[in-house]
Amino acid sequence: MLKTRIIPCLDVNNGRVVKGVNFVDLIDAGDPVEQAQLYDQAGADELCFLDITASSDNRDTIYDVVTRTVEKCFMPVTVGGGIRSISDIRKLLLAGADKVAINTAAIKDPGLVKKAALKFGSQCIVVSMDVKQKDNNFELFTHGGRTETGIDALTWAKKMVEFGAGEILLTSMDKDGTQQGFDLEITRQIADNVSIPVIASGGVGHLQHFVDGVKKGHANGVLAASIFHFGLYTIREAKNFMNAAGVAVRID
Amino acid sequence: MIDEPEKQTKAVIIDYGSGNLKSVFNAFKHASSGDVSVTHDFRDLSLSSHIILPGVGSFADCMKGLVSLPGVIETLQDEVIKNKKPFLGICVGMQLMASLGKENGTTKGLGWISGEVEKITPKDPMLKIPHMGWNTVSFNSESHPIWKKFISGSHAYFVHSYQFIPTNKDVILATTEYGENITAVVGSDNMIGTQFHPEKSQSFGQGFIKEFLMWDGNT
Tell me whether B128 touches chain A (CB under 8 Å).
Answer: yes
CA-nearest of B43, B47, B164, B45 to B112 is: B164
- Provide CB contacts within 8 A for A82, sequence distance 6+: A51, A53, A59, A62, A88
Question: Catalytic positions of A, please?
Answer: 11, 130
Stretch A74-85: mean pLDDT: 95
Region of B202 (left: φ > 0; alpha: ψ -120 to 50; beta: rest) is left
pLDDT in tens, B156-176: 999 999 999 999 999 999 999
SS3 A194: coil
CA-nearest of B123, B96, B120, B124 to B109 is: B96
- Band of residue A234 on the pLDDT scale cut at 50, 70, 90: very high
pLDDT in tens, B117-130: 999 999 998 899 99
Instruction: State the pLDDT at residue A26.
Output: 55
β partners of residue A133: A138
Tell me whether A124 touches chain B (CB under 8 Å).
Answer: yes
Residues of B in contact with A74 (CB under 8 A): 23, 26-27, 30, 199-202, 205-206
pLDDT at A56 over 80: no
- For helices A153-162 and A184-191, give the axis angle rounded to 10 degrees: 30
- Provide CB contacts within 8 A for B132, sequence distance 6+: A123, A166, A167, A197, A220, B158, B159
Q: How far apart are CA A165 and CA A124, in angstroms?
A: 8
Instruction: Locate the chain B residue with the closest alpha carbon to A77.
Output: B200
For chain A, percent of residues with pLDDT exceeding 90: 79
* Amino acid sitting at position A9: C
* Amino acid sitting at position B98: A
Tell me whether A65 touches chain B (CB under 8 Å).
Answer: no
**What's phi and psi for B174, nearest 5 deg?**
-155, 155
- Band of residue A146 on the pLDDT scale cut at 50, 70, 90: confident
Instruction: State the pLDDT at residue A27.
Output: 58
Handedness of CA A232, A233, A235, A239 (dihedral sign): negative
Q: Do A166 and B27 touch (CB under 8 A)?
A: no
Instruction: State the pLDDT at residue B56.
Output: 84
pLDDT at B80 over 80: yes
β partners of residue B82: none
Tell me whether A250 touches chain B (CB under 8 Å).
Answer: yes
Q: Do B205 and A74 touch (CB under 8 A)?
A: yes
ipTM of this predicted complex?
Answer: 0.93
Q: Do A94 and B19 touch (CB under 8 A)?
A: yes
What is the full DSSP assignment across B139-186?
Answer: ES-TTSGGGTT--TTEEEEEEESEEEEESSGGGEEEEEESSSEEEEEE
CA-nearest of B191, B24, B13, B205 to B114 is: B191
The answer to whether residues B1 and B37 touch, using CB atoms and an 8 Å cutoff, is no
Domain ranges of chain B: 10-214
Tell me which architecture the domain covering B10-214 has in CATH. Answer: 3-Layer(aba) Sandwich (3.40)
The answer to whether residues B12 and B37 touch, using CB atoms and an 8 Å cutoff, is yes
The answer to whether residues A70 and A93 touch, using CB atoms and an 8 Å cutoff, is no
Instruction: State the pLDDT at residue A229.
Output: 82
pLDDT in tens, B200-213: 999 999 999 999 99
Instruction: State the pLDDT at residue A28.
Output: 65
Rounded to a whole number, what is the distance in Å from the CA of A220 to chain B's nearest CA? 9
- Band of residue B193 on the pLDDT scale cut at 50, 70, 90: very high
Q: How far apart are CA B135 and CA B157, in angstroms?
A: 7
Residue A38 has a CB neighbour count (10 Å cut-off) of 19
- Provide CB contacts within 8 A for A187, sequence distance 6+: A170, A172, A198, A200, A213, A217, A218, A219
Q: How far apart are CA A58 and CA B7, in angstroms?
A: 46
Q: How far apart are CA B108 and CA B134, in angstroms?
A: 30
Question: Catalytic positions of B, please?
Answer: 91, 197, 199
- Band of residue B6 on the pLDDT scale cut at 50, 70, 90: very low
Closest Cβ opposite residue B56 in set A96, A121, A250: A121
- Provide CB contacts within 8 A for A31, sequence distance 6+: A16, A17
Stretch A65-81: mean pLDDT: 96
Rounded to a whole number, what is the distance in Å from the CA of B120 to chain A's nearest CA? 12
CA angle B163, B164, B166 (to 5 degrees): 150
Burial class from Cβ neighbours inside 10 Å (0-12, 13-18, 19+) for residue B175 reads buried
pLDDT at B184 over 50: yes
The answer to whether residues B184 and B174 touch, using CB atoms and an 8 Å cutoff, is yes
Q: How far apart are CA A139 and CA A196, in angstroms?
A: 20
Instruction: State the pLDDT at residue A20.
Output: 45
Write the DSSP symbol of residue A74: -
Q: Do B56 and A3 touch (CB under 8 A)?
A: no
Q: In chain A, positions 26-45, which contact chain B (CB-CB < 8 Å)? A: 40, 43, 45
Distances (CA, A) of B102 to A158, B96, B109, B174: 25, 11, 10, 22
Range B20-59 burial, b when 16+ CB lie within 10 A, else e: bbbbbbbbbbbbbebebbbbebbebbeebbbbbbbbbbbb
Q: Which homologous superfamily does the CATH classification assign to the domain defined by A5-244?
A: Aldolase class I (3.20.20.70)
Stretch B86-95: mean pLDDT: 97
CA angle A128, A131, A134 (to 5 degrees): 165
Q: Do B134 and A197 touch (CB under 8 A)?
A: no
Domain ranges of chain A: 5-244
CA-nearest of B23, B3, B189 to B91 is: B23
Closest Cβ opposite residue B133 in set A45, A94, A120: A45
